[in-house]
Structure formats: C-alpha cells, structure tokens
Structure 1
Amino acid sequence: MPTHPSAPVVLVLASGRGERFAASGGAVHKLRAPLGGATVLEHTLAAVRASGLPWHLEDVGHPGMGDSIAAAVRATAHAPGWLVLPGDLPLIRPDTLRTIAAALADCAVAMPVHQGERGHPVGFAAACLSSLMALTGEQGAASVVRKQAQQGRVRQVEVDDEGTVTDIDTVQDLERAAQLLAARG
C-alpha cells in the first residue's frame, strides 16, 4: 500500500455476504465472479492501485455495511480522510478516485454523480472520523452524509464514469458490467 500522508485512504469494502447475487443464480460469491479475465474484486483493486492513493481492504466478515465502514476507519484512523468504495464496483476508474479525493479539500463529504445518479466512492474528510467509527448495522454511512448535508458540507461532483453506479448485485448486473467493460476496449 503506498503511503501518502495527505491523501485520503480508499476503503475497499469486501465483507458482504452477496446474498442477492446468489439468489439471482450466481454460482460463486459476487466478488469472486469472473469478469473479463479477472474477478470483480480484482478489477476494483486494480483501479484502486492505479489511482496511486493509499488503500485498505476490509474483508473480515461484519454484520452490516456500517460495521464494515467503522472497522475500516478504525484500522486507518490516522488518515486525513476516506473514500468508501464497495468492492463490487469493478468499472470504477482511477481518475474518478483521484477526483473525489481532491474534492475533499473543501468539504466534509464528496460524492460522485453520474447522469443524475449518486454513486461511489463517497469521500469523507477527517472531521467525520467519530461519526464513521460509530456506524453499525446495514445502513452504511447515509446518516453521516445527512448530518453533513444539514450543515452544507456535502459536495456532489459530476463525473463521466459509469463505474461509480455500476455495482454487481445480481447475475444480470454482472452481464451488464461485462458489456460495458467490453465496450471500453
């Protein structure tokens, strides 16, 4: 993991059970599903590595998304911020990760928006540390975003990256991601 003391840490969340993917007919865990010569998670990690940002993989089983985020933030509590990136976003582009990281310079929360749809990663500045470490359950960090939005400290960043909104929850999502990946060349 590269060390950039002033850069936020990308938190790759890979703790989920992938139940919707299995229910849709998936034969393996969604993060291990093959996609264009690699697994879903390998694609996500390749983009994170290519971004040059420091990163942390949170792949210990946790009861919910909030628990996973809290554990990952605790493990990287020294960081000046975090980009919360679910491991099932294999089409995310490295430049988008850098864009969201840079956006944290003047806000508490930065989130990508692609064609009107909010996506990931959601960036959080160090001011959100205690709120992120207190998360539990399935809800993720939505409560932290709402709290910061009430204070006018959330910035939406328009991005031209379908990878921010292309998560893999079903076999059909995987097929769509494969088509998009093929179209990228």
Structure 2
Amino acid sequence: MPVVLVLASGRGERFVASGGTLNKLQALLAGRPVLEHTLEAVRASGLPFHVEDAGHPGMGDSIAAAVQATRNAGGWLVLPGDLPLVLPETLRAVAQALSDSTVVVPTWRGERGHPVGFAVTCGEELAALSGPQGAAAIVRSHTPLLLAVDDPGIAVDVDTVDALREAERLLASRR
C-alpha cells in the first residue's frame, strides 16, 4: 500500500509576502489550521501517511527525506501540506491507479494537481532528490497516467492570502 507523504517543511515565504502573518500551514481556514484540513482528508482516506516537517531547504529535500523515512512503503503519494481541500476519495483513487502505473498525476478539468503518485520503482530516484524543484523531473522521465478526478481541491494550494480566501470560498460552497 502506498504511503501519503504530507510535505510540511516549507517556510511559506510567498504567503508572508502576500500579507500573511503566520506560516501558511498554521493560517486559519474555517477556524482550523490549513494543515489540519489536509491531514483530516489523509486520515479519512484510510491510507498510511508520514508528515515531513523537519524544515528542509527545498521540496526535493523534503520528498527525499520522507521517502527515506518510509523506505518499505508500497509506493508514495506526494501531497504538499498546503492543499487543504483535497478529497479522501482522490487520495484513494491515485493510490489505486498506482497498481497499473509508475507515476499518476490527478487532473481536474485538465489542470494537473496533487497528490502525485509514484510506484516503488521510483524509490531510488525520489530518495536522491534535492533542491526546490520537487519530483517534476521524475514525472517527466516517465509517462504519467493523467487521472481525471472530480476534485478541484487537487489544485487549490494556499500560497498567498488571496489563495486562502479562495479556499475559504470553495470550502463554504461544499457545505
């Protein structure tokens, strides 16, 4: 079974530059921290997960550390902690699609998002990542399955105060 890697190491510099006063993962969305919304979806998915929050310098470093910490996983779903609206069903769908694909990228109305799924065969590549680019080069080096999902939350990341407001609006529309 793949492990969801919740990346929570970023400094959130764009969020602060846009007027935010806290780290974006601690910013309140409907009265609860952004990261708590993300973790709620991960827990509801029933998939095992690992939170990587050691303050790594780049996304690649965070992914590598998380993969090394979960070395015996049956694959990985990379989920930045600032995607508070991703649905548990989407996490399960990406995990299921990994049984037939090496890399799975969810899409909503043609827009790519997260979590991006990686099969066990990508483990060495993921564990060797460093720097700010994350796993984009690994995705490009494979032919990813583009998995259409009915979940705009795959592309709603809270990088700015305006994005937090948009997430608040979308969350309210779900209720």
Amino acid at match of 1:40: V
1:121 aligns with 2:111: no
Q: TM-score, normalised by structure 2?
A: 0.99
Residue of structure 2 in register with 1:45 after alignment: 39
Shift of residue 37 of structure 1?
Answer: 2.1
1:60 to 31, 54, 64: 54
Shift of residue 147 of structure 1?
Answer: 1.1
Q: How many residues align?
A: 175
Partner Cα separation in structure 2 for residue 38 and residue 176 of structure 1: 15
Identity %: 64
Amino acid at match of 1:179: R
Partner Cα separation in structure 2 for residue 39 and residue 163 of structure 1: 16
Residue of structure 2 in register with 1:157 after alignment: 147
Residues 85-105 of structure 1, C-alpha deviation per residue, up to 9 Å, x if partnerless?
000000000000000000001
* Structure 2 residue ranges without an equivalent (≥5): none
2:156 to 166, 171, 182: 166
1:24 to 18, 22, 42: 18
User: In angstroms, what is the RMSD of aligned CA positions?
Assistant: 0.5
Residues 135-181 of structure 1, C-alpha deviation per residue, up to 9 Å, x if partnerless?
000000011111112xxxx2010011011000000000000000000
Shift of residue 41 of structure 1?
Answer: 0.1
Shift of residue 59 of structure 1?
Answer: 0.4
1:9 aligns with 2:3: yes
Residues 8-61 of structure 1, C-alpha deviation per residue, up to 9 Å, x if partnerless?
000000000000000000011000000012110000000000000000000001
Partner Cα separation in structure 1 for residue 44 and residue 166 of structure 2: 23
* Deviation >2 Å, runs of 4+: none
Partner Cα separation in structure 2 for residue 143 and residue 78 of structure 1: 23
* Structure 1 residue ranges without an equivalent (≥5): 1-6
